[in-house]
């Protein structure tokens, strides 16, 4: 027969038993001995047997309420047999009996171990009915199924698989709403992750480190782009020629060479350029700036390539 136990009652008793049974050996190792665990389990089982007697004497166990008001701090747990109760008690003791035979991980429930084993075997028993994707965990399949129900933007009719992404799209693209504000400089952002990345410019935090050269970055995306220097990966390919790039922005700049588009115009003479770097060089014609200086004769140049050509003259003895 089904029996119900007052959950918070034995949880509080467990805490009391742990304090009562605590020894210097436990303090040093931070773990409970098998004997202590058995002692606590025995005391708790006696308490529960007493509780069941009191409950069944008052009313039929089947009709006893599963939950009382949270204000009364009484939550009842339902178990069909003793093993189910023992399995539940491990959530309080932290005991993990089920060990993975392929790695060092351990679990309190066999079902959790079964799910973990799929990470080694590659088994994916949960399949989508609408496409050929499959998943190792049912919750991942549930999340995936939402991608087959699309939300449409009422302004541009673009579709999204999640409502939260649609709301972010409307806020950042159409309304230009920026509800996330920096507490230091008051700069505002349309997305919370953008604010989080911005805050690192104030704190100097750079949590993303390259495993090859140990260079650190404040943003994960910058680290991803940086890693392509080491791997040589260039995922952005030009559709008009055979050139490829490691950064999307570089591909966009390259495409302007094909289209002839020149977005960067000089505010002083109106001359236009396809790249901002070219505009910066041009502006030195107006400002007279010459940041590239020869280390031998101190002659200065507005463009680095001119300095390189000048240095060869020193090497060849022409100067």
What is the Cα–Cα distance from 148 to 160, expressed in whole angstroms?
10
How many whole angstroms separate alpha carbon 44 and alpha carbon 16?
Answer: 11
Q: Provide the 10 A C-beta neighbour count for residue 54.
A: 10
75 with 134, same domain? no
Residue 293 has pLDDT above 90, yes or no: yes
pLDDT at 44: 52
Average pLDDT over residues 68-83: 46
In a domain, 24, yes or no: yes
Q: Indicate whether 267 pLDDT > 70.
A: yes
Give pLDDT tens digits for 132-157.
888 988 888 888 877 776 778 888 87
Residues 24 and 63 in one domain: yes
**Inside any domain, residue 29:** yes
Average pLDDT, integer, range 222-247: 91
- Residue 289: pLDDT band by 50, 70, 90 thresholds? very high
Length of the chain counted residue by residue: 319
227: in domain:
no
Give me the mean pLDDT over the 288-299 stretch.
93
Tell me how far the alpha carbon of residue 307 is from its chain's centroid: 46
Task: Check whether residue 29 and residue 90 sit in a common domain.
Answer: yes
Q: Give the pLDDT of residue 81.
A: 61
Give the count of domains, the chain.
2
Residues paired with 20 in a beta bridge: none
Do 13 and 58 lie in a common domain? Answer: yes
Does 31 map to a domain? yes
Per the rule left: phi > 0, alpha: psi between -120 and 50, beta: everything else, 270 is left
Q: Do 104 and 83 have their domain in common? A: no
Structure tokens at 297: 């004769």
The CATH number assigned to the domain holding 136 equals 3.30.160.60
Average pLDDT (209-215) is: 92
| CA gap 222, 217 in Å, rounded | 7
Cβ–Cβ under 8 Å, residues 106 and 116: no
SS3 181: strand
- In the beta sheet, which residues pair with residue 198? none
89 and 107 co-located in one domain:
no
CA-wise closest residue to 249 among 276, 210, 273, 282:
276
- Dihedral over Cα of 294, 297, 302, 305: its sign: negative
Please tell me the pTM assigned to this model.
Answer: 0.38
Whether 29 and 42 map to the same domain: the answer is yes
* Domain range for 131: 99-147
């Amino acid at each position: 027969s089904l029996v119900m136990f007052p959950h918070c009652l034995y949880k509080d008793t467990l805490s009391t038993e742990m304090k009562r049974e605590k020894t210097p050996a436990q303090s040093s190792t931070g773990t409970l001995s098998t004997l202590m665990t058995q002692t606590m389990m025995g005391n708790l089982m006696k308490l529960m047997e007493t509780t069941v007697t009191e409950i069944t004497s008052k009313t039929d166990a089947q009709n006893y309420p599963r939950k009382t008001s949270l204000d009364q701090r009484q939550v009842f747990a339902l178990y069909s047999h003793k093993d189910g109760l023992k399995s539940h008690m491990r959530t309080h003791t932290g005991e993990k009996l089920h060990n993975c035979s392929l790695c060092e991980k351990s679990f309190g429930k066999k079902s959790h171990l079964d799910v973990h084993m799929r990470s080694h075997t590659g088994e994916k028993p949960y399949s989508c009915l609408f496409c050929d994707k499959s998943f190792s965990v049912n919750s991942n399949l549930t999340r995936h199924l939402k991608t087959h129900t699309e939300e449409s933007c009422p302004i541009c009719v673009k579709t999204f698989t999640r409502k939260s992404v649609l709301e972010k799209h409307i806020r950042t693209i159409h309304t230009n709403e920026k509800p996330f504000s920096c507490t230091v400089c008051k700069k505002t952002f349309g997305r919370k992750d953008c604010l989080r990345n911005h805050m690192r410019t104030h704190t100097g935090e750079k949590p993303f480190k390259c495993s090859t050269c140990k260079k650190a970055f404040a943003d994960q995306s910058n680290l991803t782009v940086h890693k392509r220097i080491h791997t040589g990966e260039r995922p952005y390919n030009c559709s008009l020629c055979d050139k490829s790039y490691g950064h999307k922005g570089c591909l966009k700049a390259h495409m302007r060479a094909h289209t002839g588009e020149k977005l960067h115009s000089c505010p002083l003479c109106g001359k236009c350029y396809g790249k901002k770097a070219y505009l910066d060089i041009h502006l030195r014609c107006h400002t007279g700036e010459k940041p590239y200086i020869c280390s031998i004769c101190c002659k200065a140049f507005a463009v680095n390539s001119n300095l390189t050509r000048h240095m060869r003259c020193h090497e060849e003895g022409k100067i």
